[in-house]
Amino acid sequence: MEKQRIAVLASGSGSNAEEILRHFEGSALAEVVWVGCNRPEAQAGVYGRTRALGLETTPIQADQLKDGTVLKMLRLARADWVVLAGFLLRIPVEMVRDFQGSMINIHPSLLPLFGGKGMYGMHVHRAVKAAGAEESGMTIHWVTEEYDEGDVIFQASCAVKPDDEPEQIAQKVAQLEHRYFARTIDALIRDAVAQTSLQHE
């Protein structure tokens, strides 16, 4: 069986992208073949993180996402899976359709709470704090045309103490993301590969 090919889209520090690359290093199941980022290197740590692991991050522009250039890049990379790891731009309909059932996103709250347009990064953790929520967490879900509305694949939660500041909430959520995101991707790919081989028997 050929290895499944994963493409990752990121917008920031790239800590989740790094965890995914490390997880699939030496894996017989899948490998990360392409990483794209919509911010220049001076504004995003993902470039340095992937370079240290032997993979250059490709800079992409918002208009390239809209005009289909990024979709062409993904096809050229022969990506089987697309993983959004802190990627802040809306995915165009054509791309969602092209990777139906193989494009996933991670969100730093327990969706449907604290999701939707403008809810990303510290905005989410500040909103959790402002709401006086007693727990937060992260959600891995399928990507649809709307922000944060795809079916939930996996959630993990953490307690929020009354004296936790947004930065502390962010830290707790990031730990959950790093613990579970790559593992969940791995399980999804295993499941899909098993289904495919069943169909071919």
pLDDT per residue as tens digits for the range 69-94: 999 999 999 999 999 999 999 899 99
- Residue of 23, 107, 178, 200 marked catalytic: 107
Q: From CA 188, how far away is CA 201, in angstroms rounded?
A: 20
Q: Which domain holds residue 25?
A: 4-200
Q: What is the pLDDT of residues 4-20, one digit of tens each?
A: 999 999 999 999 999 99
For the entire predicted model, the pTM comes to: 0.94
- The position carrying tokens 């790239």 is 14
Indicate the pLDDT class of residue 201, thresholds 50, 70 and 90. low
- Catalytic annotation present for 107: yes
User: How many domains in the chain?
Assistant: 1
Strand order in the sheet with 57-59: 57-59, 30-37, 4-10, 81-84, 103-107, 135-142, 152-159
What mean pLDDT comes out for the span 177-196? 95
- The 10s digit of each residue's pLDDT in 16-34 is 999 999 999 999 999 999 9
Percent of the chain with pLDDT over 90: 90
CATH number at residue 169: 3.40.50.170
